[in-house]
Structures are given as structure tokens and as C-alpha cells.
Amino acid sequence: MDDKEILDRLQFLYSSRLSVLNDRHQYEWKNFFGEIGLILALDAAVLQFRIHLTGWMFYGWILLISGLFTASIFYHWQLQLRNYLDRRAMNEINNRICQALNLPEESQIFEGDKKTRSLPKRRLRLRQLWAFFSQMGLLLLVALGSIGLAIWPPDSIKSTAAPMAPCYCSCAVASSSGKDTSPIRHLNATETVKINTPTYRSVVK
């Protein structure tokens, strides 16, 4: 097998890995935003129809959101591991192509810098999984907001404004029927007030 044939096969392997990696990236983010959209749609339905999550509905809601979040963690973790393995394979293929072309190791075409190569595999894997941690952090905030909606529904939040004191009047109150009621009572908006003012006569001696 001559050098040209080796380079063609290496290039084919690199292109096939790159194609699979790009396809995986496309539906990876579509699935991620679809999961967030599903949780937000459920929250919107609860708010719109004023559903009170009590009893078994409350625990079912907690299990639903927790199960969806757990399944997302497992799915995206496996997906990022596949991406990591593809990137490592592509870097190795790229290095072999550079060696076949007799390029110096100081060339920028080689994989990364020497510091990246000297890192342990575990630390290197965590460094390259930054997308997983950012995705799960955002999904965790959305899931906690949905669980908080079940624990503290908007209808249970009372207004902080001080209640108005009832209005009492020491006077005779005449209702719309014309009958007098008790002299001290709370006034309704449909009632009228009739105040009996005493009259005074001056006495001249």
C-alpha cells in the first residue's frame, strides 16, 4: 500500500467521523431545547387552567419532572461521551496524516498543544465536556422552577398590602327599604346614611 492510498483512507476515516459528529451535534441541541420547551409548556398549562397540584397530582408532578431531568442527564452524558471519543479519534487520524506528510510536531496542524496531551484522561474528558455541564445547569434551573410552581402556586401568594379597616359609624343607618338598623354597624356600598341631628331651642328668661 503506497503513501497516497494510506492518505486517502485516513482522509476517508476523518471525513466519516466528522460527518457523524456534526449530525450528532444537530439533534443534540434540538433535543435539549425540546426538553426545556416541554417543561415550560407543562408549566404554562398549569398556570392557564389554574390547576392546583394537590395530593397524588403533586407527587406525580414531582416524579414527572425529576424523571425527565434524570433521563436527560443519562442521555446527554452518553451523547457527550460519544462526541468525546469521536474527537479523540479525529485528532489521532489528523496526527497520523501529519506524520505521513513529514510535518514537524511544532506545526499548528497537529492536535492542540503539548499541555493538552500531558493532561490525565479524566481531567481532559471533564474539560472537553463543558457543553454537558452548561446544558444540565440550565435544565436544572428550569426543572427547579417547575417544581417550585407545584410547591408554591401563584394563587397561594397573598398580597403584602395592609387590609383596609372596616368603617363603623355611630349613627342611625337607613337601608334601601327605609327601615332603621342598629346604630353601630358596617356600612355597605348600597346603603344610605341618615343622621338624626338634634335641634336646640334657646330659652330666654
Exposed (0-12), middle (13-18) or buried (19+): which is 110, by Cβ within 10 Å?
middle
> What is the per-residue pLDDT for 199?
52
> What is the per-residue pLDDT for 125?
64
* 8 A C-beta contact, residue 112 and residue 98: no
Give the predicted TM-score (pTM) of the model.
0.64
Per-residue pLDDT of the chain (205 residues; tens, 9 = 90+): 677 888 889 999 999 999 999 998 888 989 999 999 999 999 999 888 888 888 899 999 999 999 999 999 999 999 988 888 888 888 888 888 888 888 887 777 776 545 555 555 666 566 667 888 999 999 999 999 999 988 888 765 444 444 444 444 444 444 444 554 444 444 444 544 454 555 545 444 4
> What is the per-residue pLDDT for 143?
95
> What is the per-residue pLDDT for 69?
95
> What is the per-residue pLDDT for 124?
58
> What is the per-residue pLDDT for 96?
85
From residue 85, alpha-carbon distances to 98, 108, 120, 122, 164 in Å are 20, 22, 15, 13, 67
> What is the per-residue pLDDT for 120?
59
